[in-house]
A = this chain, B = another copy of it.
Amino acid sequence: MTPPRLQDVAARAGVSTATVSRALSGKGHVSSRAKLRVQQAAQELGFVVSYHASSLASGRSRNIGVVLPHIDRWYFSTVLEGVSRALLEAGYDLSLYNFDGDRYRETVLTDFLLRKRLDAAVAVALQLEPAETRQLFSAGIPFVGVGGPLVGAPTVSIDDLDVGHRATQHLIGLGHRRIGHLGGVDEQGRYFTMSSNRRAGYERAMTEAGLPIDPEWSIVSDYTLMDAYQRAKNLLADPDNRPTAIFSASDEMAAGAILAARDLGLSVPADLSVIGIDAHPIGEALGLTTIDQHAQQQGVRAVRRLLDHISGADNEPTDEILPAHFIARASTGPAAGSSGS
């Protein structure tokens, strides 16, 4: 037996299909008596509107896309969790498009996003070429960026430069002068503006304090714990020339640094202070001092912005900077032989 259609509900309730549509969607006026009969009939028949028919007729699909370069990395899956929650709450469907690094970059941009099935989309930390940005926008729907600038669309993020600055200042305030940095690559200008902004914040804080920035202490990693572990270990192995503190652009890399230090017999924070960014759960067990960037909340805000926009709320396309908060734990402490500052 074929599923009930709106027409069947109309027949059973003794009204027209238009009335059923109105009663069920809540748009337009329907007498409460008619509404009741419709709802009952729909209930009895187990009627659910056909998504495709509804979308085709109305031109809107209650479906929002999420485009991201990775899924199984903490930042992305956490933002996604926030996006998902906000969308579920609003009754919207969520379509997921994963670049998977660069693997499906083209495909997603040229095929998937153009199918006219999305009301809007959020782009998480994508760093696109100008031509790619154009492709994106050619989908003809509102976009909002998260965690990195999406040129031409409003973006929700933290102030990465400021966060890098504050993290570094924290270490400087503890009396450290030999401070290293663990950051990400800025592959040919793609990806990780986030990362380069944090590095810029570090450099600014160092410069302001009149401290030297040793290029050897400025480590470029691929943002994974293991890679950071290995590189930090190399850096810290030299007892004559190693930093007393490290500011890491992510908690996972910070964790790698802490594990490396321990494996070298260095104690944290006595021999080495480490601060990260994220509030990644792994930081708890390591006592990692960090700055919470409220990743989930970033996803939630992005969705709110989009939904407001769709519903015609008069929001100007301004960027939104979310606050980030210190979580002081045990991985940072006074520099050896320092009285603080």
Contact = CB atoms under 8 A, between A and B. Distances in A.
A53 B51 contact: no
Contacts of A286: 259
Interface residues of A, number: 57
A70 B82 CA distance: 11
Contact of A282 (B81, B88, B104, B225): B225
Interface stretch (A111-119, A144-152, A308-316): A111-119
Interface in A56-87: 56, 61, 63, 66, 70-72, 74, 77-78, 80-81, 84-85
A53 to B, nearest CB: 5
A282 B56 CA distance: 47
A233 to B, nearest CB: 10
20 contacts: A3-B116, A50-B56, A50-B115, A71-B81, A72-B74, A72-B78, A72-B80, A72-B296, A81-B98, A81-B100, A85-B98, A85-B100, A88-B98, A88-B100, A88-B107, A225-B281, A225-B285, A229-B285, A255-B285, A282-B282
B284 A226 contact: yes
A49 interface: yes
Given A85-B100, A259-B285, A115 B49 contact: yes
Nearest to A61: B52
Interface of A: 3, 48-53, 55-56, 61, 63, 66, 70-72, 74, 77-78, 80-81, 84-85, 88, 91, 93-98, 100, 103-104, 107-108, 111-112, 114-117, 140, 224-226, 229, 255-256, 259-260, 262, 281-282, 284-286, 296
Contacts of A49: 115
A48 B115 contact: yes
Contacts of A103: 85
Contact of A115 (B51, B56, B112): B51
A330 B227 CA distance: 18
Given A51-B116, A72-B296, A88-B108, 5 more contacts: A50-B115, A81-B98, A84-B100, A93-B115, A95-B96
Contact of A285 (B48, B88, B256): B256
